[in-house]
Amino acid sequence: MTNNISDKDQKDWKNFLEKNEKLTNKDLEKEEVKSHITKSLDLHGYTLDEANKKVENFITDCFDQKVSKIIIVTGKGLHSQNDKDPYISKKFGILKNSVPDFIKNNSSLMKKIKNITDAEIKDGGSGAFYVFLKKKL
């Protein structure tokens, strides 16, 4: 490494000193830290009616508590008892598909919801989904 400073750098430094320009200290600036409160609900073992009631109450409570993200774990339906009923498709778990439909068809819940998306693998993958809530005014 050389200690020689280029002519351009010397000129830039001289111009900077002549302007008396103040630089902000980035170490002193405070970044606004946004805290995202996340709660989760595991519906394994619930019947469809129980799950829907639980979800409705949970979303309402979370909205009142200013929670921004909910993880709802329905399971993938692998251990479902659907195979005993010939009128129900064996490909689908009851809660996995019915709970999101229940939420989307409930207008009072949808007024509190910003978005519903699939969960990442770390949060349950195809056996879970996210509910992002609006801010309570």
pTM score above 0.95: no
pLDDT given at position 90 = 47
Binning pLDDT at 50, 70 and 90, where does residue 37 land? Answer: confident
Kindly state the tokens that stand for 69: 């993200």
CA distances from 29 to 24, 25, 50, 110 (A): 8, 7, 49, 38
Q: Which class would CATH give 38-133?
A: alpha beta
Mean pLDDT score of the chain: 82
